[in-house]
Amino acid sequence: MRAFLAIVKLTLRHAVRSHIFQLLFGVLLLCVALIPTTITNSSAADFLKSSIFYSLWIVSAVLGLSSIWLGCFIMTCDIDSYQLHMVVSKPVSRITVWLGKWVGVCLVNLLLLVLASAAVFFIILGRFESLDFSAEEKVRMRSEVLVGRRAFKADRPDYADAIGELVRRKIAKLNAQGRSVDTQMQEKLIKDSQLEVVSADSEVKHNMVKSWRFSNIPANTGKPLFLRYRPYINKVASEDQRPTHLIWSVGIPRERKAVPQAGPVAKRNAKAYDIYLYPLDDKPDQVMTGVFHEKELRPEWKVVSSDGHVFMTIANLDRYNGTMYFQPADGPKLLVPATGFAGNYIRAVMVIALELMLLAALSCAFAGCLSMPVAIFMVLSYLLFGAFSVYMVNLEYIAGMADRFGQMVGKALLCVVIPLQHFDVSSLVSDGVLVEWSFIGSLFLNMIVLRALPLVLLGIYLYNKRELGLIVRK
């Protein structure tokens, strides 16, 4: 243990003396001090969301680069200066040396993370209280942004039957035209049919009403629910969006009177209820399409049914007869307050801490058996492969065999590489969405244990077997 602690202490000393680390530390201090204090938006929502998002993102990015640099620098510094040759000649295993250096790198970056995140937290809240926002706006921000809300997506139907029926009709039409359908053509028909069915389910034509049902909503919490949505008009694209008119209605459940019957029917009727729709506004609401909006459902309305369901409808009242679209990823969602902003912020910091420990472990693993420039190149390449794999897998339009092959390669790479964008929770915190414990646990299991740990163990093994006598620096 004394050898391990001594290595950790030396690692901390070498890290602080590194000029690149000092540069990154200066950049971190500059960003933490400037970003929350220089953002001046017209509304409290824009100020809070921009400050939280950019501050957390910058802290994560700068400390991530620091972890990569320090991991590679610390592992190769002792080898290049021949200090490790003297250490391993003593009764100290190389595994102890590796773990001591990794723990030292993690301690430096985690300490900076705690200090930077605490500074961001208090600076943002201090600026929010000092700025000249109205009392109503501040109260609304405390319930929409400065909170951790659990998100519930609307129930989606099973598209399999509709997709299968559409594919069968297309194949029958092609056969009637005398055209044969091979495997490649059939895959294309399935892909196109899936897009058509999902698009049709996501659209609301002019003067039409669409309904959604949300399940597993906690009842009688005494807290308001928030409906979050982003509509598009005429096409799902950020350009050419304009204001439109719509009206939301919420279903108020009213329990039916139990009918005295024998058997399970009486039990089922006792829990039955009717839904009565009430509009949220007295007149059509004018909203800008292509951006997110929120509507509050007050707790005294009692919109949650006895079986945990909430029913919502929307009417498209666009004055230019446009068709409205709702992407599945953009809502509508119901946001239920679950914790305060401090608790949700701490969870986000924990996710960043996992990311930093992961990057430090990968850097130490590569640098233990490679030179410093090559190790940095390998770590960055590994992370870029993860980012590009996610992009290829989520590619919606497949143009040809090249895109299809890239998608297959991306799926294969995602079994071993780590997409760092999965650790980005700045958008969740800035929107007041809860960072779930299950999400943190899945990151630890899937990204660190199943993907990173085998690579780290391989790096430790190669570091333990490395022949130091072959390393000669002139």
pLDDT in tens, 97-129: 889 999 999 999 999 999 999 999 999 998 888
Residues 63 and 91 in one domain: yes
Residues 257 and 353 in one domain: no
Residue 59 in domain: yes
Structure tokens at 184: 């490649």
CA-to-CA separations, 446 to 351, 414, 441, in angstroms, rounded:
13, 11, 8
CA-to-CA separations, 86 to 32, 83, 91, 393, 469, in angstroms, rounded:
41, 6, 11, 49, 12
Residues 248 and 358 in one domain: no
Residues 249 and 303 in one domain: yes
Residue 166 in domain: no
* Per-residue pLDDT at 344: 94
Structure tokens at 251: 């279903």
Question: What is the pLDDT confidence band of residue 445, given thresholds at 50, 70 and 90?
Answer: very high
Which of 71, 166, 85, 119 lies closest to 382 in space, CA to CA? 71
Quote the percentage of the chain above a pLDDT of 90: 31
Residue 162 in domain: no
Residues 8 and 138 in one domain: yes
The domain that holds 241 is classified in CATH as 2.60.120
Cα–Cα distance, 165 to 160 (Å, whole number): 9
Residue 180 in domain: no
- The boundaries of the domain holding residue 377 are 2-148+341-469
pLDDT in tens, 412-436: 777 788 888 889 999 899 988 899 9
Model-level pTM? 0.81
**For the chain, what is the mean pLDDT?**
83
Bridge partners, 225 (sequence order): 297
Residues 327 and 241 in one domain: yes
Q: Which of 272, 299, 331 is the last residue before a domain boundary? A: 331
Residues 316 and 348 in one domain: no
Cα–Cα distance, 215 to 138 (Å, whole number): 31
Burial of 334 (0-12, 13-18, 19+ CB in 10 A): buried
Which of 117, 144, 66, 115 lies closest to 426 in space, CA to CA? 117
- Angle made by CA atoms 326, 329, 333, in degrees to the nearest 5: 75
Domain count of the chain? 2
Residues 279 and 347 in one domain: no
Residues 14 and 140 in one domain: yes
Residues 284 and 228 in one domain: yes
